[in-house]
Structure 1
């Protein structure tokens, strides 16, 4: 094999490898966004169910309505927040701005949970 042919073959292999790596990066980027959307949707559904459950508990005679009303409102607010985040992920501008996407996601997922735990403790 001539050195020129050897170099050409190496360049072809390198180009194919770079193309495969680029395709894998794009696939992982899209896959991660879909997983993130699915997790946010699951969190929104769970928060909505907890809001409905709190409202149902507050509907019984003799229960402290203000406690369950506050808890249901907080859970409903968090469910709406998760749903709005899912919609925001669909916006193309937010996809291109990776740091903003991850900061908002971390704030929502990690920030909402301690707030809800604190609210539950305060409500009793």
Structure 2
């Protein structure tokens, strides 16, 4: 019986992890519009806590570096709370799938011990300025 329960729990965890990582990138447009360096720099301006999570008292925020703006937002109006690891995975997937163009996808979450809010990461046209932040974080 215990083996069956362990197997079921493992199956659910693996299914969740796979489904989170296979979320489709949507709205790919303008391949070659952004650089990986600008997008990585923009994402790195988000401050994380000691567990690697970004938490903000608002449902969306944008950070811009050069050609790339990273816009993160919740669809349900809750305040932002997502893992930087998941955000980096989403950014990598958008850039790879969209050929360094604009696009968006849900941030895959791999942690089960925090209350994380479903969040979308969108790669958009940057301000052209060096690491301009829009917001207080």
* TM-score, with length taken from structure 1: 0.30
Instruction: Please state which structure has a larger fraction of its residues in helix.
Output: 1
Instruction: Please state which structure has a larger fraction of its residues in strand.
Output: 2
Which has the greater radius of gyration?
1
